[in-house]
Amino acid sequence: MVHAVQIEMLRQMLLIREFERALGARKDHGFQLLSAGEEAVAVGLCSALRQGDQLLTGGRSIGPALARGADPNRVMAELLGRATGTNRGKGGRGHLADQGSGFFGAHAVVGGNISIAGGVALATQMLNRDNIVVIMFGDGAFGAGALHETLNMSASMRLPLLFVCNNNQLSVSTPRTAALAPKLLSDIGRPFGMPSRTVDGMDLDTVVMAAHEAADYVRSKQGPAFLECISYRFSSHSTTARETRSAEELCSIRALCPIDKKMGEMMAAGLIDADTKIAIVESAKAVVRGALEFADASPFPDVREALTDVI
Amino acid sequence: MSSDTSPPVEKIFFREAIARAAREEMRKTPEIIILGQDVGYFGGSYREFDGLFEEFGATRVRDTPVAEASMVGFGVGAAAAGLRPLVCITYMDFLMLGFDPLINYGAKLRFKTGGQLTAPVIVKTTAGAKGQGVAHSQCIEAWLMGVPGLKVVAPATPADAYGLLKAAFRETGPVVYVDHKRLFPIAGPVPLAETIVPIGKAAVRRAGTDLTITSHSFMVRTALEAAKMLEGEGIDAEVIDLRSLAPLDMATISESVRKTGAILTLEEGQVTAGVGAEVVSRVMETIGAVPFSRIGALPAPVSSNPILEAACLPSTGRVVQAAMALQRKKARGVNHVVAETIE
């Protein structure tokens, strides 16, 4: 990978981490759905997407939205309920959408966006767009019937749809092992004839390579593909949900930090030095400070917005 | 030249009116596709898509697996991304499986994205009992009337089946189009010229002075039969075909009830929290208390046993009896519900 590209991806992961850290400290607009630990999945996946491609996700969507290129100012404004937000403050957590950056949108019903993405892929195919559609969902959505139906329909229609299961191994508090029978979740793509892989979602380079391979396949109009990225969520389900894991377990999970890993690798390879590292961290923090300032300076929606864009 | 100024019509079946509207729209708008079970070569379970597969091909008239939840999801998602899908759900009972993408996503999309996206999808589905039993007979359109972001129409005539479907293809958000099994083989006049029936406008099917009967879909026919029998009893009933359930045409309904002073609502679905409950409430909010009666299916599953099915569904006789009781209450000035009993 080109040096500048690696630095940019490192910067994106840091931006997501710092953005969520700052947002999580704000208790004035309800709970938030954070994704610390899962940054490599979002950034690695989006590195394989092009302009005009569409990304749909479940509710845990801050990382994917930022990695896709949504404006941090407007994302922060949305999550703090401001009229300048991506969705004019009306979607909020779990429903981010930003058409300008190819982030078709998050949808907070678990599994609810999967068949929607099938429809977006159908439109992409029928309108002869040379783009692909990606549906990212968690292991929580893996047990939903919509996945089976959409795997089947998209395979039989040979749709340009990439299934990405970001398997963070927890559905709120329920471990994936208690809820899902298959050993490898990606095995579900095989009977539908899809190239299907499971990769380490904590390693950026691995996700980048797997995402490019899967996206290239889908882009070649051969039909859908399935990619499972095994990741770890560092914090509880939401900023107001109880943490159910022990301190020891959390400690060992956090040792797998994809940002620390990538940074260490780049330093060991001499691709960045201590000064560059500080500069990247500081620039991410500056963007986040700017986003908070933008959001705080923005008005809440007028109450009349409760009745606009309804029908 | 004929002195008859009414526009020329053709007499076609209800199912043919649907096919004609879809055909005209598909010729003009390449983004229109049809998704559903047996909509292709088979021509639709009720032959309401006859000829479309032959004319437009398997890409635009697509057979799907039996997966209502994702059929609706695909339709809504494709609509949001630039197509104009019509999703056909063969039995309205199975639309329950598609409620999540329809209600949680499609109906909310414009609002939740701050106007970035809308989902102009038509979900066409078939209600009503025709010997198919407890899970293939239901009329659940009332469940959808209170969903912000959804429009719901239910035509009773071939002309409206045609004109309302044309209107639905012009909407910018989701529309649930409810047809009815017993209406498909019924013929009626449809204008030869392209005609659009606006959503949100009721039709007065029979003018009258003594009481207002509101209904929709197949039950409009029952209401008209009852009105004819009531003539013999000296009761002059006005019959309103709601046509659009969301939004309701309260102006037309209220004006009628203001004139007649009593309202009887008739539907094939359940009375509890039904279409009639909403109509009566809104009439009274508008013009104050009037004597009213609500008629619907009995509060029981609709059996495939013809004896039990007929017992469950509203009949002309029940409507006539309820209307006569309502007239007596009106004459006595009693403003409360007329309890209905089955004989």
Q: Is B203-332 the same fold as B9-191?
A: yes
Of B16, B48, B68, B238, the catalytic one is B68
Average pLDDT, chain B: 95
A60 in any annotated domain: yes
B31 carries an active-site annotation: no
Tokens of A159: 């749709």
Query: Is A277 near chain B, with CB under 8 Å?
Result: no
Residue given tokens 């309202």 in the structure block: B263
The whole-angstrom distance between A125's CA and the closest CA on chain B is 10
The whole-angstrom distance between B130's CA and the closest CA on chain A is 29
Query: Is A158 near chain B, with CB under 8 Å?
Result: no
Closest residue in chain B to residue A95, using alpha carbons only: B112
Distances (CA, A) of A259 to A6, A85, A91, A113, B281: 12, 27, 29, 28, 60
Tokens of A174: 């329920």
Is pLDDT of B323 > 70? yes
Identify the band that residue B332 occupies on the pLDDT scale cut at 50, 70 and 90.
confident
Give the residue extent of every domain in chain B: 9-191, 203-332
Range of the domain at A172: 3-247+272-296
Query: Is A149 near chain B, with CB under 8 Å?
Result: yes
| CATH number of the domain to which A64 belongs | 3.40.50.970
A303 in any annotated domain: no
A277 in any annotated domain: yes
Q: How many structural domains does chain A have?
A: 1
Question: What distance in Å separates the CA atoms of residue B326 and residue A251, rounded to the nearest whole number?
Answer: 74
The whole-angstrom distance between A29's CA and the closest CA on chain B is 17
A265 in any annotated domain: no
Return the percent helix, strand and coil in chain B, to nearest 5.
40, 20, 40
Q: What is the CATH number of domain B9-191?
A: 3.40.50.970
A207 in any annotated domain: yes
Whether A235 and A32 have beta carbons less than 8 Å apart is answered as no
A258 in any annotated domain: no
A36 in any annotated domain: yes
B68 carries an active-site annotation: yes
Query: Is B77 near chain A, with CB under 8 Å?
Result: yes
Greatest alpha-carbon span in chain B: 63
Angle at alpha carbon of residue A166, lines to A161 and A169, rounded to 5°? 145
Give per-residue pLDDT as tens, A221-247.
999 999 999 999 999 999 999 999 999
Identify the band that residue B334 occupies on the pLDDT scale cut at 50, 70 and 90.
low
A304 in any annotated domain: no
C-beta atoms of A123 and B78 within 8 A: yes
Give per-residue pLDDT as tens, B205-223.
999 999 999 999 999 999 9
Q: What is the CATH number of domain B203-332?
A: 3.40.50.920
Query: Is B74 near chain A, with CB under 8 Å?
Result: yes
Give per-residue pLDDT as tens, A141-177.
999 999 999 999 999 999 999 999 999 999 898 999 9
Question: What distance in Å separates the CA atoms of residue B122 and residue B29, rounded to the nearest whole number?
Answer: 14
The whole-angstrom distance between B70's CA and the closest CA on chain A is 5
Closest residue in chain A to residue B67, using alpha carbons only: A149
Closest residue in chain B to residue A118, using alpha carbons only: B74
Give per-residue pLDDT as tens, B40-74.
999 999 999 999 999 999 999 999 999 999 999 99
Residues counted in chain A: 311
Taking CB atoms and an 8 Å cutoff, what residues of chain B touch A65? none
C-beta atoms of A120 and B33 within 8 A: no
